[in-house]
Chains A and B, each alone.
Chain A
Amino acid sequence: GIQVEQSPPDLILQEGANSTLRCNFSDSVNNLQWFHQNPWGQLINLFYIPSGTKQNGRLSATTVATERYSLLYISSSQTTDSGVYFCAVGYTGTASKLTFGTGTRLQVTL
């Protein structure tokens, strides 16, 4: 099946710093989403971004489908950004499921 790798696995930032999270996938995809799992375990949908670039406030994401990677940018990080960030992909071979990466655990400190 498709492989989804995320880096770095862990990241510690001071409040106000910027960061880039990466998601590599092993096959062509037609669905890619970024999620934030907060400390209470809730999965919050950040972006649906199978290709191109999107921005939402301090967050933005870029997917280069032909090169099989996606990037999530967090600018001016805040303590509320802490949690785990997951990339999840869907691809033509199995239409109805998302395959999640192992996540990047982000801790933002004061």
Chain B
Amino acid sequence: EPEVTQTPSHQVTQMGQEVILRCVPISNHLYFYWYRQILGQKVEFLVSFYNNEISEKSEIFDDQFSVERPDGSNFTLKIRSTKLEDSAMYFCASSEGYSSNYGYTFGSGTRLTVV
């Protein structure tokens, strides 16, 4: 079964550093998403991306965050100047079509720890 692949699985970074989380969505999917889950809490939407632009973002997704599809296969989340409260599990997801009518496939997540 096709998978969404995320790298790295774990990342530790110092406060103030920039990190890039990487995702390879399923090849025929057109919609891409990032979610995060702070330890012990529920999963929260960050951003959705379609046709090389952001289609929706949450209030969490401020100027510190950016997304990019640098080539035909990768989808990245960049966090500039990380803060302690950015420590969380970050999930990438993709869907074949307009997301309210299609199921999402999630990646295994990247656990980010900011120290």
Could you tell me which A residues sit within 8 Å of B by CB distance? 30-31, 33, 35, 41-43, 45, 48, 86, 88, 90-92, 94-103
Contacts and interface: CB of A to CB of B under 8 A. Distances in A.
Question: A31, A35, A102: which has the most chain B beta carbons within 10 Å?
Answer: A31
Interface stretch (B11-19, B73-81, B98-106): B98-106
Interface residues of B, number: 27
A91 B101 CA distance: 9
A103 B100 CA distance: 21
A45 B99 contact: no
**Chain A interface, DSSP helix/strand/loop, else mixed:** strand
Contacts of A102: 42
Contacts of B102: 31, 48
Nearest to A30: B100
B55 interface: yes
Contacts of B65: none
Nearest to B39: A41
